[in-house]
């Protein structure tokens, strides 16, 4: 019997596993890095062990420290969650050696599937359909690379042999692009997974991403729990997943299931795993990889089958036979999951960090898997996924509508999110019609779909709501802004990401407000101040506006939408002087390469620094010709947004 479980992970998945363990009466041990001292997963667990440091390499990837903690605290099992150590065969083996149950498949199965090149070969043997491809050895020269590329045929997908989640993945359409794509994929793979091995694969155009959940026990049973469709992706990362797929009928489902079970059997799979396929528009599907762990999007399978996959994993790990409910699972209704990220979509999915002044996703019949609470912070060290929001409904339409509403009504203050993109996608005619494939955002510009609420109507109403709340809060027993002689209106300016609105108001003798926006009088009737905002009739339409003020920033949520605006300071602060030609970090991240050398003559567009933020590499290029006059960072430096990286002096070049 399992008594105590150590969760070798963080964030929402750690919280998810802890909850499941608690329901089974199993004690829990959390591990946490310096950045996660106050994280919810630590608070949820019965015990916690500090892993000193912040980078994953010092903390959540330190299998030795984690096993030592498990031994010390008498944990009899370790759940690796997803990511981090979940697909490290060596770690699974080390657990086994220490007499601790690793909740997952055997080290052999992990190793077999961990190398995607070998995995493909093995699946081909087992009769699972695969795509053509080739491995790139580290010492392959340019000519050989060109030949190999031609052999596979364009378009080509460059992928990391170890790893997943889209990291190190590149699509190459022209032979000329292959070399650089391979080099950067190798670098990203090496940084992320500790192994830079990459391979090429024929790229299927307009594919759907279909994956099948499988579970196997120690008694030779392997079954599938139907498919999930995860085609809505941005930069190879899934953001909306659903089950079942609109493109899979019963016959295809049986075929997919059979292939997935065959794949599982081929490696004597024990535990929960996922067989990923790429599916062409004609319904042909090809093996991509097996993820030998719990998937991020596992909740939608849970919703349509009624099976708790984490509890099932724990049961399997204890040697239980798959229960009847799993052996004979049925699909009921439809489930959709949206991944809410802290990121600036229009800016190019730039990850955001900072404190969450309010984080409230509510509603009945909604499942929110999150590792954040109001008052916690999104750090630059880990994934910026704030929450998975999952809705189950009898029909797909209802699930999509409800999920959209829940996301719209959520109050998320402090960091910019992809909420608008999710909401717009769920309501998009193509999505509603089930026309989903991985090229969705190539056809529908995410910068447009994901633009923040910014109509003049909402900005006007929200600026007025913010101004009135401020006036009421500053109001005393003698009212606000009293003048016995004429007097000018109180004036506040509100900045919505560059658009400024000036709200002027005077408080009348009867305490009503006369309001003008940008000089034009507006019809505003203050109905009441509520605990979290005000009720205002604006142009005759009464709505509650929830106004949350943090410093100079006002977060307003209403039926019109959600906005963030800042009260423009009355007095400009003395300017912060910036050296001409300074290159600033556009986002928080860590420096992975410094190409610039002090005193070097550089030309406009030359890459000077490479930053890795979250899962992407960003090139910082010279803004103009000049001479590198200062370098402020080195490989490994963690930088915040706005940090000066390099200074290029354009006057020094001659």
Determine contact, residues 261/254, Cβ cutoff 8 Å. no
Q: Does 516 bind another protein (CB under 8 A)?
A: no
Considering the complex, what minimum distance in angstroms separates the CB of residue 232 from another protein?
46
Q: Binding residue for another protein (CB under 8 A) from 143, 251, 484, 531?
A: 484
Q: Does 512 bind another protein (CB under 8 A)?
A: no
Considering the complex, what minimum distance in angstroms separates the CB of residue 295 from another protein?
52
Q: Does 572 bind another protein (CB under 8 A)?
A: yes
Determine contact, residues 92/106, Cβ cutoff 8 Å. yes
Helix (H, G, I), strand (E, B) or coil at 274: strand
Of the listed pieces 250-258, 472-480, 543-551, 554-562, which binds another protein according to CB under 8 A? 472-480
Quote the longest CA-to-CA distance of the chain.
91
Q: Tell me how far apart the alpha carbons of residues 489 and 507 are, in angstroms, rounded to a whole number.
A: 9
Of the listed pieces 129-137, 430-438, 478-486, 557-565, which binds another protein according to CB under 8 A? 478-486
Considering the complex, what minimum distance in angstroms separates the CB of residue 508 from another protein?
11
Pick 8 or 471: Cβ nearer another protein: 471
Q: Are strands 47-50 and 27-32 parallel, antiparallel or unpaired?
A: parallel
Q: Binding residue for another protein (CB under 8 A) from 482, 499, 597, 605?
A: 482
Helix (H, G, I), strand (E, B) or coil at 393: strand
Q: Does 568 bind another protein (CB under 8 A)?
A: no
Pick 186 or 490: Cβ nearer another protein: 490
Q: Does 328 bind another protein (CB under 8 A)?
A: no
Q: Binding residue for another protein (CB under 8 A) from 141, 143, 328, 509?
A: 509
Of the listed pieces 8-16, 71-79, 131-139, 486-494, which binds another protein according to CB under 8 A? 486-494
| Residues with a known catalytic role | 293
Instruction: List the Cα angle 510/516/519 in 5-degree steps.
Output: 145
Q: Does 540 bind another protein (CB under 8 A)?
A: no
Give phi and psi for 618, each to the nearest 5. Answer: -120, 135
Considering the complex, what minimum distance in angstroms separates the CB of residue 608 from another protein?
36
Binding to another protein, residues 442-471 (CB under 8 A): 470-471
Pick 457 or 491: Cβ nearer another protein: 491
Q: Tell me how far apart the alpha carbons of residues 273 and 113 are, in angstroms, rounded to a whole number.
A: 11
Considering the complex, what minimum distance in angstroms separates the CB of residue 549 from another protein?
13
Pick 148 or 492: Cβ nearer another protein: 492
Q: Binding residue for another protein (CB under 8 A) from 129, 323, 487, 521?
A: 487
Instruction: List the Cα angle 325/330/333 in 5-degree steps.
Output: 130
Determine contact, residues 55/269, Cβ cutoff 8 Å. no
- Cis status of the peptide bond prior to 402, with omega within 30 of 0: no
Q: Indicate the helix (H) or strand (E) that contains 49.
A: strand 47-50
Pick 213 or 490: Cβ nearer another protein: 490
Of the listed pieces 103-111, 203-211, 251-259, 488-496, which binds another protein according to CB under 8 A? 488-496
Q: Tell me how far apart the alpha carbons of residues 164 and 185 are, in angstroms, rounded to a whole number.
A: 12
| Number of residues this chain uses to bind another protein (CB under 8 A) | 23
Helix (H, G, I), strand (E, B) or coil at 561: strand
Pick 567 or 587: Cβ nearer another protein: 567
Q: Does 577 bind another protein (CB under 8 A)?
A: no
Considering the complex, what minimum distance in angstroms separates the CB of residue 291 from another protein?
56
171-178: long-range contacts, CB 8 A cutoff, minimum separation 24: 171/203, 172/203, 175/146, 175/149, 175/150, 178/145, 178/146, 178/149
Determine contact, residues 614/607, Cβ cutoff 8 Å. no
Of the listed pieces 248-256, 356-364, 434-442, 484-492, which binds another protein according to CB under 8 A? 484-492
Pick 466 or 562: Cβ nearer another protein: 466
Q: Are strands 27-32 and 4-7 parallel, antiparallel or unpaired?
A: parallel
Considering the complex, what minimum distance in angstroms separates the CB of residue 550 from another protein?
17
Q: Indicate the helix (H) or strand (E) that contains 639.
A: strand 638-639
Q: Binding residue for another protein (CB under 8 A) from 1, 143, 485, 531?
A: 485
Of the listed pieces 193-201, 278-286, 348-356, 482-490, which binds another protein according to CB under 8 A? 482-490
Determine contact, residues 89/113, Cβ cutoff 8 Å. no
Nearest CA among 13, 35, 588 for reference residue 339: 13
Considering the complex, what minimum distance in angstroms separates the CB of residue 66 from another protein?
52
Given strand 77-79, what is the order of strands in its sheet?
A: 47-50, 27-32, 4-7, 77-79, 101-102
Q: Tell me how far apart the alpha carbons of residues 226 and 288 are, in angstroms, rounded to a whole number.
A: 17
Structure tokens at 306: 């009624």
Q: Binding residues for another protein, per CB under 8 A?
A: 470-471, 474-475, 477-488, 490, 492, 509-510, 570-572
């Amino acid at each position: 019997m399992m008594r105590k479980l150590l969760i070798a992970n963080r964030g929402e998945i750690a919280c998810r596993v802890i909850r499941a363990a608690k329901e089974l009466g199993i004690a829990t041990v959390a591990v946490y890095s310096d950045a996660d001292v106050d994280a919810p997963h630590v608070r949820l667990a019965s015990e916690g062990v500090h892993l000193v440091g912040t980078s994953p390499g010092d903390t959540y990837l330190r299998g030795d420290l984690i096993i030592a903690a498990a031994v010390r605290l008498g944990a009899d099992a370790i759940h690796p969650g997803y990511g981090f150590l979940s697909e490290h065969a060596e770690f699974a083996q080390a657990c086994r050696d220490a007499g601790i149950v690793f909740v997952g498949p055997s080290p052999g199965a992990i190793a077999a599937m961990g190398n995607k090149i070998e995995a493909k070969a093995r699946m081909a043997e087992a009769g699972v359909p695969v795509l053509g491809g080739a491995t790139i050895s580290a010492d392959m020269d340019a000519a050989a690379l060109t030949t190999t590329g031609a052999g596979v045929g364009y378009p080509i997908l460059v992928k990391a042999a170890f790893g997943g989640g889209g990291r190190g993945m590149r699509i190459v359409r022209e032979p000329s692009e292959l070399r650089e794509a391979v080099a950067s994929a190798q670098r990203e793979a090496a940084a992320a997974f500790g192994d830079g091995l990459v391979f090429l694969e024929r790229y299927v155009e307009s594919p759907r991403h279909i994956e099948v959940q499988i579970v196997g026990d120690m008694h030779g049973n392997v079954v599938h729990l139907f498919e999930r469709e995860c085609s809505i992706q941005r930069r190879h990362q899934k953001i909306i997943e659903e089950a079942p797929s609109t493109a899979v009928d019963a016959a295809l489902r049986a075929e997919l299931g059979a292939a997935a079970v065959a794949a599982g059997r081929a490696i004597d799979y024990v535990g929960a795993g996922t067989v990923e396929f790429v599916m062409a528009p004609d319904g042909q599907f090809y093996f991509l990889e097996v993820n030998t762990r719990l998937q991020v999007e596992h909740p939608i399978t849970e919703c349509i089958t009624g099976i708790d996959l984490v509890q099932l994993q724990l049961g399997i790990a204890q040697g239980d036979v798959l229960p009847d409910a799993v052996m004979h699972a049925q699909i009921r209704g439809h489930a959709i999951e949206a991944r809410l990220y802290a990121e600036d979509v229009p800016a190019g999915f730039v990850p955001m960090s900072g404190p969450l002044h309010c984080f409230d996703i509510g509603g009945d019949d909604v499942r929110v898997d999150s590792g954040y609470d109001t008052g916690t912070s999104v750090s630059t060290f880990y994934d910026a996924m704030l929450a998975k929001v999952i809705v189950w409904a009898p029909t797909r339409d209802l699930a999509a509508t409800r999920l959209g509403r829940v996301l719209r009504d959520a109050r998320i203050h402090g960091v910019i999110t992809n909420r608008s993109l999710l909401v717009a996608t769920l309501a998009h005619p193509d999505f509603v019609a089930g026309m989903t494939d991985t090229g969705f955002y190539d056809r529908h510009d995410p910068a447009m779909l994901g633009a923040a609420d910014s109509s003049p109507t909402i900005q006007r109403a929200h600026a007025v709501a913010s101004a009135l709340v401020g006036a009421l809060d500053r109001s005393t027993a003698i009212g606000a802004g009293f003048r016995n002689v004429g007097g000018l209106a109180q004036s506040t300016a509100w900045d919505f990401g560059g658009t400024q609105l000036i709200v002027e108001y005077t408080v009348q003798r009867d305490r009503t407000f006369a309001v003008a926006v940008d000089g034009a009088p507006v019809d505003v009737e203050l109905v009441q101040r509520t605990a979290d905002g005000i009720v205002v009739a604006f142009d005759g339409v009464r709505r509650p506006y929830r106004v949350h003020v943090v410093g100079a920033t006002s977060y307003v949520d209403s039926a019109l939408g959600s906005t963030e605006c800042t009260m423009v300071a009355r007095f400009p602060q003395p300017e912060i002087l910036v050296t001409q030609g300074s290159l600033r970090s556009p986002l928080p991240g860590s420096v992975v390469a410094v190409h610039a050398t002090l005193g070097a003559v550089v030309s406009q567009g030359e890459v000077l620094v490479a930053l890795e933020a979250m899962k992407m590499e960003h090139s910082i290029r010279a803004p103009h010709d000049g001479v590198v006059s200062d370098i402020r960072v080195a490989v490994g430096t963690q930088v915040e947004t706005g940090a000066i990286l390099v200074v290029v002096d354009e006057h020094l070049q001659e």
